Amino acid sequence: MQTSNRCLSVCTPGFRTRQKRCVSVPMNLWTRPSFPLVSLTGSNGMSAASSSDLVHRYGGNLPRYTSYPTAASFSEAVGPAQAESWLRALPAQQPVSLYFHVPFCDELCRFCGCNTSVMRHEDGRLAYGDLLREELRRVVALVGTRRSVKHVQFGGGTPSTLPASALRQIMRSVRSMFQIEPDAELSMELDPRHVPVGYPALLGGLGFTRISLGVQDLNPQVQDACGRHQSFEQTEACVTAVRNAGVSGVNIDLIYGLPYQTEESVAETARRIASLRPDRLAVFGYAHVPWKQKRQRLIPEESLPKPSERLAQRARMDTVLRAEGYLPVGLDHYALPQDALVRAASTGTLRRNFQGYTTDSCDVLLGMGASAISMLPDGYVQNITAVAPYARAMADHDGLPIARGVERTADDRLRGSLIERLMCDMGVDLEQMEAQLDVFSPELGALEPLIQDGLVTVEGPKITVTEKGRPFLRHVAAVFDTHRKTLSQAPSSGAPQPRFAGAL
């Protein structure tokens, strides 16, 4: 799951559209000895004793760093006018990636942190498809036609809730307004329980190359508690159908930390799902945010695994997936050795954006749809979150339905690249960052406890996150996040609520 290009809350049927510089750094920072890893047990380097200590030291709530600054820094100070001028200023030869957000599902799952709703009316789904095309037309009026595109993603929610005719029209618009590269990745999220008849063939025919499937867990008790009943056979049938339709890329999402999960149950799920040989797997930690997502209040708190159990579950899944031939990528992904994600990770070209880990090297992402986020050289902008006001804004004005955003300063860009390299490469060479290195003296000092705990090593300008430190990547990234301090000092109204989910 990404904080980000995802969904909303209102069911609104039938809404209408109108249409290198290395500079001096205190010597002690570079010459600090790197600490040997302590008591490694297994591939993930997590011993039981050390993990409980770590849980105490590294609790808290942290962002997932799919952007920097993170969405928590977005504000209404950046609106449609700013977004439009940023879009107009895009260099003519700048390639772009496209994201379409569809905030509807066929049924709602209790664990789900996305703001999604059930849109039963076909008219409403068709009308939403029209809105996506109209928004694309408005964006293209600002950035011009025929830009090169290598990634087009449909996320949600469940984008296959778009009727076939709506998806065909959107893809026709995309192909007429952009230059889709022959090796482009076209991807869509699917719910294996609700794949409309003929949809796999439709995706194959439209040139889709990758699908992403939600599974989460196969255990009946866990599924009961999550309100998501999905048999292994349903998932298998979906994978087979899309592969038979020519869509070769398959991602599957699993979650640990769900109600009633145990080390045994998550290991069993990971083993069975690995037998389907998806080329990529995401293994997310359940984000329990009932103060934001009311439906999660239906999950009894006492059924949730404790942080130390979560870490142990994560470690078991890691062991199973490695034994099944998968390699870990970044914080929470696994892929087969020949997969492009692994190649990107090994060559330092892996990227992290609002879609999570990606091979997409493009620096511009244009997001369409309610709550969609766009990434531009000057900053990030997000559309109005809920469907009805998004649709109203599209109908009432000719401009873009932007609600909020954040401008990126030079410091944000520097820290953003550093955090991205940490999250992707499990390390960063500060010498390769275009900055005065002494800028980071306080951060290098703040890494000391993580070094002591064997999560990080620092040798000269090189920061390396150890295998034991992988689950704590966000903690390492957070050391370089100057916005966190400002946000935590910002006054809040009412009872203080965390902005992010638990970091372990």
Ligand X SMILES: C[S@@+](CC[C@H](N)C(=O)[O-])C[C@H]1O[C@@H](n2cnc3c(N)ncnc32)[C@H](O)[C@@H]1O
Q: Would you say 207 or 290 has its CB closer to ligand X?
A: 290
Alpha carbon 125 to chain centroid distance? 24
Separation between Cα atoms, residue 135 and residue 131, nearest integer Å:
6
**Are 414 and 154 a contacting pair, CB within 8 Å?**
no
Q: Is 454 labeled as ligand-binding?
A: no
Q: Is 287 labeled as ligand-binding?
A: yes
Residue ranges binding ligand X (CB under 6 A): 1, 6, 105, 111-114, 156, 158, 189, 191, 213-214, 216, 253, 255, 284, 286-287
Q: Would you say 112 or 458 has its CB closer to ligand X?
A: 112
Q: Would you say 90 or 287 has its CB closer to ligand X?
A: 287
Neighbours of 135 (CB within 10 A): 23
Gyration radius (Cα) of the chain, Å: 22
Q: Is 424 labeled as ligand-binding?
A: no
Least distance in angstroms from the C-beta of 160 to ligand X: 8
Least distance in angstroms from the C-beta of 69 to ligand X: 22
SS3 of residue 374 by DSSP: strand
Least distance in angstroms from the C-beta of 269 to ligand X: 12
Q: Would you say 53 or 107 has its CB closer to ligand X?
A: 107
Q: Is 338 labeled as ligand-binding?
A: no
Q: Is 404 labeled as ligand-binding?
A: no
For 123, list phi and psi in degrees, rounded to 5.
-60, -40
Q: Would you say 64 or 475 has its CB closer to ligand X?
A: 64
Least distance in angstroms from the C-beta of 427 to ligand X: 26
Cβ-closest position to ligand X? 214
Q: Is 253 labeled as ligand-binding?
A: yes
Least distance in angstroms from the C-beta of 153 to ligand X: 11
Least distance in angstroms from the C-beta of 371 to ligand X: 11
Least distance in angstroms from the C-beta of 102 to ligand X: 9
Helix (H) / strand (E) element for 284: namely strand 280-285
Separation between Cα atoms, residue 361 and residue 93, nearest integer Å:
15
Least distance in angstroms from the C-beta of 279 to ligand X: 16
Q: Would you say 12 or 251 has its CB closer to ligand X?
A: 251
Indicate the DSSP class of residue 61.
Answer: B
CA proximity to 456, closest of 32, 70, 62? 32
Q: Would you say 95 or 369 has its CB closer to ligand X?
A: 369
Q: Is 158 labeled as ligand-binding?
A: yes
CA proximity to 157, closest of 83, 220, 99, 225? 99
Separation between Cα atoms, residue 228 and residue 179, nearest integer Å:
39
Q: Would you say 86 or 326 has its CB closer to ligand X?
A: 326
Pairing, β 117-118 against β 379-383: unpaired
CA proximity to 254, closest of 224, 233, 228? 228
Give 294's contacts (C-beta < 8 A, 6+ positions apart).
none
Q: Is 156 labeled as ligand-binding?
A: yes
Q: Is 113 labeled as ligand-binding?
A: yes
Give 3's contacts (C-beta < 8 A, 6+ positions apart).
63, 64, 66, 70, 71, 354, 500
Q: Would you say 213 or 478 has its CB closer to ligand X?
A: 213
Upper half-sphere CA count for residue 372 (Cβ side, 13 Å): 25
Least distance in angstroms from the C-beta of 447 to ligand X: 27
Separation between Cα atoms, residue 406 and residue 126, nearest integer Å:
32
Separation between Cα atoms, residue 160 and residue 326, nearest integer Å:
28
Least distance in angstroms from the C-beta of 99 to ligand X: 12
Q: Is 189 labeled as ligand-binding?
A: yes
Q: Is 228 labeled as ligand-binding?
A: yes
What Å distances lie between residue 43 and 249, 322, 427, 467, 470, CA to CA? 27, 8, 18, 8, 11
The CA angle 31-34-35, to the nearest 5 degrees, is 145
Number of residues that make up the chain:
504
Separation between Cα atoms, residue 88 and residue 399, nearest integer Å:
13
Q: Is 22 labeled as ligand-binding?
A: no
Q: Is 216 labeled as ligand-binding?
A: yes
Q: Would you say 124 or 156 has its CB closer to ligand X?
A: 156
Residues in the annotated binding site for [4Fe-4S] cluster: 105, 109, 112
Q: Which residues are annotated as a binding site?
A: 99, 105, 109, 111-113, 156-158, 189, 216, 228, 253, 287, 373
Binding-site residues from annotation for S-adenosyl-L-methionine? 99, 111-113, 156-158, 189, 216, 228, 253, 287, 373
